[in-house]
Structure 1
Amino acid sequence: MKKKRVTLKLLAEETGFDISTISRVLRDDASLSIRSENVSIIKRAARELNYIPDTAARSLRSARSYSIGAILPSLQNQIHAQIVEGASRVFRDRGYSLIIAHSAGWADEREMVPDLIARNRVEGLMSLTYREDLRRFTNGQAGIVPFMAVNWSMPGFDSAVTLDERPGARLATEHLIDLGHRHIAHLSGDLRRFNAAERYAGYQDAHDKRNLPFSRELTQTAGYGYEDGARAMDELLDRKSGDFTAVFALSMLTAAGAIAALGRRGIRVPRDISVIGFNDGMLAEVMTPSLSTVAYPLADLGSAAAEGMISLVEKTVPTFRQVISGAQLIHRESTRSVRSRTRN
């Protein structure tokens, strides 16, 4: 027997509210005046009856696609996965679909973006990756649809949702200082870019706050990937071996690569050198040694980006900017005190 589709009419019969009110509640219409307990009744009924919005029919009626495109540099990065998870939840609840596009197969976003818009009729674009060719969208428009930078920014960008990264980098560096480390290396990114510059500034802030000398010689340009971390660690060791007891890496993957490079040289973490990364994920928990990191609410970042994108698409705001804070130190096995190091 074919299962009966749950419609707004059926929800109206079950709850006693009219169809228009139910529709506006399920779309989170902020202009609707309704008691919170009635909102709960309607949403609970929708969950229990497994109501699914008929987005396709709505799209045909309104000539809208209710689709948002998201450009990712990697489909395997755990950080991006957490951001997308938060965004997907909001889009689903608001009746939008999220279309993921992988930028690695495209030489130029100037080709990718029009194709994504044309093929999928997306109404807005979010990019989780910085590329130089995205500068053409600094006016907030990717062709004819709103554009938003997620987890990065650059001067001139109208719409972006970012992390407050400088305090997190300071927290990571202060953790190493609190453990007695006084010579702390930093594996940085391209300091012309927003994220890398903010993390580098936080690293400097921690030294200034504790009145510790700061040496640019202990900074090595890396990148956000595993191989980037391994290469940069090798280069730093070739230049400054023995001059530092701890490393702050600009990402979780960079830190993992650095630890691998240290291990290949017989340098033990944390017995010989402590290592801390930035942003947290499953890899940090399961690697050996487990990685100390600074964690951010990345799903919240994704949720905020999705809410902002919907506001842009529905033209309730001309631009959208938000900064997500909430850095939290996660102390695991890869960092320990200098005193413990000297005893073993």
Structure 2
Amino acid sequence: MATIYDVAKEAAYSISTVSKVLNNSTNVSSRARKKVLEAIETLDYVPNSSARTLATKKSNMIGVVFSENLGVGMAHPFFGPVIEGFRKFVDMHNYDLLFVSRSIKGEESYTNQLIRRGVDGIVVFSTDSDQSDLKIYRELGIPCVFIDMEVNDFNSVYSDNYHGALMAVDHLVALGHQKIAHIHGESTGFIGVERMRGFNDAISAHGLNTPEEYIMNGGYYSADGGRMAMMKLLRLSEPPTAVFVSGDQMAIGAIQAIKEYGLSVPEDISVVGFDDIEIAKYMEPALTTIAQDKEKIGQQAGLLAIESILNPNCLPVKKTIPVRLIKRETTRQVKK
């Protein structure tokens, strides 16, 4: 079966141009339109979409792509509530969702699936720093919204990661801690960079001196990554009295490491996480953390997706969602 890539090759035009012709866009030259239509006829290419889509050029469907390094997709405790908030919002506006995997195997790519099904827009859930796919999304010519990743020429929605880190450090300093370490997420990713920037600025604002060995890379926000990073901190000749961990799952691993080392949380070391995943309040001890409004992130992404579908020429919007400090049981006043 011919794909849009075959049509683009046959017509000697880009995928973006083919997509515009298929969507009946006016921003295509008559020569390009003629060549693309001829290629479509030659290859007998027909997008596998509903009759309504072919007639109206609208499918009332939004594609959902997961682009994250752990490969857990909706099973991730952060993404689940976000996608549910997104689903509820777009469902009220009569849009369906099409879930595709960026790592799909076989002849047909995930982008071709999106085009073949005639999606009106795309939402990308991203935790990684690889922006190589941005060129592909630009060529598709379909409105896109990125979640958890700042993208200059697309709509994007993310938490106020920077101020969340400031809150975490301020809380620990207010408790009397001065030896504060940071276990950060992937240091080239947007959220990891923003949370580390907030940590560094807060440490500087309080006049503290954080040794280089107090900064540990926990990798891609897994419990194992947090555990291994915390073990390294505990082996230092002068370990910290508190640690800000850039993700709740990493914080869970860090607390496990502290317990394995024969120490207690928060009696020996205070821990602050980031995310406020569901299990955080049920842990023993319950996790002090920076809460993201996951449902609101999903709702705002849905709003931007629909607005950009209805008005494709609107300028990209970056939406920052406020966060808040949730004080629980993993932090306490420093011992004198």
Q: Pick the TM interval, shorter chain.
A: 0.7 to 0.9
Q: CA deviation at 1:92?
A: 0.6
Equivalent residues of 2:101, 2:110 under 8 A apart = no
Q: Which amino acid aligns with 1:117?
A: I
Out of 234, 239, 260, the residue aligned to residue 231 of structure 2 is: 234
Distance 1:136 1:57 in 2: 30
Out of 56, 65, 68, the residue aligned to residue 62 of structure 2 is: 68
Moved more, 254-263 or 61-70: 61-70
Distance 1:158 1:63 in 2: 22
Cα distance, 1:280–1:138 mapped onto 2, change above 3 Å: farther
Q: Deviations over 1:143-175 (max 9, x none)?
A: 242222111125x44321222211111001111
Q: CA deviation at 1:71?
A: 1.8
Q: Which runs of 5+ in 2 are unaligned?
A: 1-49
Q: Deviations over 1:44-93 (max 9, x none)?
A: xxxxxxxxxxxx89657524211111223422112111211221121011
1:318 equivalent to 2:314? Answer: yes
Q: CA deviation at 1:115?
A: 2.7
Equivalent residues of 2:296, 2:321 under 8 A apart = no
Distance 2:329 2:240 in 1: 18
Distance 1:275 1:317 in 2: 46
Equivalent residues of 1:90, 1:303 under 8 A apart = yes
1:114 equivalent to 2:112? Answer: yes
Q: Bigger relative contact order, structure 1 or 2, given CA contacts below 8 A and separation 6+?
A: 2
Equivalent residues of 1:137, 1:147 under 8 A apart = no
Q: Secondary structure at the match of 2:64?
A: strand
Cα distance, 1:270–1:132 mapped onto 2, change above 3 Å: closer
Q: Secondary structure at the match of 1:125?
A: strand
Q: Which amino acid aligns with 1:237?
A: L
Q: Which runs of 5+ in 1 are unaligned?
A: 1-55
Equivalent residues of 1:139, 1:158 under 8 A apart = no
Cα distance, 1:320–1:89 mapped onto 2, change above 3 Å: farther
Distance 2:165 2:104 in 1: 32
CA RMSD, Structure 1 to Structure 2 (Å): 2.5
Distance 1:86 1:80 in 2: 10
Distance 1:257 1:135 in 2: 31
Distance 2:160 2:139 in 1: 25
Q: Tell me the equivalent position of 1:101.
A: 100
Q: Tell me the equivalent position of 1:162.
A: 158
Q: Deviations over 1:261-283 (max 9, x none)?
A: 21112121111111110111211
Q: Tell me the equivalent position of 1:8.
A: none
Q: How does 1:1-344 map to 2 (within 5 A)?
A: 59=53, 62-72=56-66, 73=68, 74-103=73-102, 105-106=103-104, 111-118=109-116, 120-131=117-128, 134-137=131-134, 141=138, 143-154=140-151, 156-223=152-219, 224-238=221-235, 240=236, 242-339=238-335
Cα distance, 1:315–1:241 mapped onto 2, change above 3 Å: farther
Q: Secondary structure at the match of 2:143?
A: strand
Q: How many residues align?
A: 280
Once the two structures are aligned, what percentage of the paired residues are identical? 29
Q: Which amino acid aligns with 1:328?
A: R
Q: Secondary structure at the match of 2:75?
A: coil
Normalised by the size of structure 1, how large is the TM-score?
A: 0.74
Q: CA deviation at 1:130?
A: 4.2
Distance 1:176 1:336 in 2: 8
Cα distance, 1:107–1:147 mapped onto 2, change above 3 Å: farther
Cα distance, 1:159–1:198 mapped onto 2, change above 3 Å: same
Distance 1:88 1:147 in 2: 16
Q: Secondary structure at the match of 2:192?
A: helix
Normalised by the size of structure 2, how large is the TM-score?
A: 0.76
Cα distance, 1:124–1:162 mapped onto 2, change above 3 Å: same
Q: Secondary structure at the match of 1:231?
A: helix
Cα distance, 1:241–1:138 mapped onto 2, change above 3 Å: farther
Q: Deviations over 1:247-274 (max 9, x none)?
A: 1000111101111121112121111111
Q: Deviations over 1:206-225 (max 9, x none)?
A: 11222222332200011311
Distance 1:282 1:98 in 2: 24
Q: Deviations over 1:192-247 (max 9, x none)?
A: 22111110111112112222223322000113111211122123333x25420011
Q: Secondary structure at the match of 1:176?
A: helix
Distance 2:229 2:61 in 1: 40
Q: Secondary structure at the match of 1:135?
A: coil
Q: Secondary structure at the match of 1:323?
A: strand
Q: CA deviation at 1:102?
A: 4.4
